[in-house]
Structure 1
Amino acid sequence: MRMITFFIAAFILIGLSVYNHKIDAADALSKYGSRGNEVRQIQQRLKQWGYYSGSVDGIYGVQTKKAVIYFQKKNGLTADGIAGPATLRAMGISSSTSNGSAGSGYSDSDINLLARLISAESRGEVYEGQVAVGAVILNRVEHPSFPDTIAGVAYQPGAFTAITDGQINQPVAESSKRAAKDALNGWDPSGGAIYYYNPDKTSNKWIRTRPVIKRIGSHLFCK
């Protein structure tokens, strides 16, 4: 009888452990009703990019949910209003359940986003050109005229065609992952550029007025 009681108790404890794990996993997602620093980061990013106009108060209310849905629709994500792992990665925010940040001082989410943007913007370019695109993004992070995060630079309205046409969501080339790491480690083939463009494809008259530093592959890199 004691043995049966022991097994019943063990079974209940295991069941409670699994149930609590599911609750913890659900709570790890920022969603309507959530509060905290992660919600505040979401609000800050969305406000910076023009998706959100409410207060940055760390409270996931109706306005925040609507802004998240708007962001998700614009970036090819499931528009459920829940800031799950994919949405947080797209925003460049490290989830509280992630493994921490990379040694470069950037989070894994930042590095992944940089690689995705390099892949989308320089697919088919020589390797040096891929690193140069990554360097331009990082140069913007350091420049006073641009947002001071990789995600802020990436999702600045109208900054990159890969964001608006959905190329950012395509599979990432392995070379772009290496290029992201090389750029983060300080290699800047662009010569300090903060702009680049393909002269055979762009119709933007303003970008053609920028002083050209060098050409790598199909891209001109400019100040």
Structure 2
Amino acid sequence: MVEASKEWAPGVSNRIYRKGDRGGYVWELQRRLQFIGYYAGKIDGQFGSQTDRATRDFQYRFALKVDGRVGPKTKLKLWKATRGMKLGAKAPAKRRKPALTEVKPMRKVPEHTKGLSKEDIRMIAQAVYAEARGERYVGQVAVAAVILNRLESEKFPNSPSAIIFQPLAFEAVADGQIWLQPNQRSKKAVYDAINGWDPSGGALYYFNPDTATSDWIWGRPQIKRIGKHIFTK
């Protein structure tokens, strides 16, 4: 794995690793993430879903851009965190928490806004509260993530308000609950989604199977169910 190690040396390469890649450098990425407790999957040199999730968790913890792309900044942080690691050695069998001795872990992840205004965030929080206030917290984050996923998709309008008030997009708009005052839990769910947590698995839609009558929404490829909502592509 000499080539992979050179690739990881600080300042040597600007190459970006991402989901779908494979090779020695991905093998090393998995080993480094495993060594500090973020990756529990198979060390196979394939940048799949588990490697992507572990990378995003690491980025989240260190206030990096949470995009699953391993560029120079992420590589440098991870290299420092695993500087004493021997690639041929296994991670310790019992590790209480990631031993990030070279880089001091952050006690609190800052609330990044990704360029969203306070009004944008408040509007998303209103939608989360109106649509999912009776759901578990993970379900509320998932609803926020759907709105953010739409924001990044070319299929939808380019602002949170335009997405939320798009005709027939959200039931809470139709019945007026969108104007309810969101609580702090809803606002926190929005910030968690902004910081990269997407329990929906990249969904663009969701619906309640107990009340949905649209053949179109039932025909969307389903990703998962969280609480009363089914999340779809």
TM bucket, shorter chain: 0.5 to 0.7
Q: Does 1:149 align with 2:159?
A: yes
| Residue of structure 2 in register with 1:211 after alignment | 221
Give the whole-Å Cα distance in 2 for the aligned partners of 1:152 and 1:183.
19
Q: How does 1:25-36 map to 2 (within 5 A)?
A: none
Name the TM-score, length of structure 2 as normaliser.
0.51
CA distance in 2 between counterparts of 1:110 and 1:171 reads 15
The reply to whether residue 134 of structure 1 matches residue 144 of structure 2 is: yes
Q: Which residue of 1 aligns with 2:197?
A: 187
> What is the match of residue 186 of structure 2?
176
Unaligned runs of at least 5 residues, structure 2: 1-111
Q: Is the 8 A contact 2:142 2:198 kept in 1?
A: yes
1:50 aligns with none
Identity of aligned residues (%): 53
Change beyond 3 A, Cα 1:149–1:110:
same
CA contact (8 A) 2:113 2:194 kept: no
Alignment of 1:105-144 (within 5 A): 105-144=115-154
Residues 51-83 of structure 1, C-alpha deviation per residue, up to 9 Å, x if partnerless?
A: xxxxxxxxxxxxxxxxxxxxxxxxxxxxxxxxx
Structure-1-length-normalised TM-score: 0.53
Unaligned runs of 5+ in 1: 1-101
Q: Determine the C-alpha separation between the residues in 2 that align with 1:171 and 1:162.
A: 13
Distance 2:209 2:167 in 1: 21
* 1:103, distance to aligned residue in structure 2 (A): 4.3
Amino acid at match of 1:140: R
Residue 215 of structure 2 aligns to a residue whose secondary structure is coil
Give the match for residue 232 of structure 2.
222
| Greater Rg by CA | 1
In 2, the alpha carbon distance for the partners of 1:105 and 1:134 equals 16
Flag as ranges the 4+ runs of structure 1 deviating above 4 A.
none
How many residues are treated as equivalent by the alignment?
A: 122
Q: 1:88 corresponds to which residue?
A: none
1:66 matched to which residue of 2? none
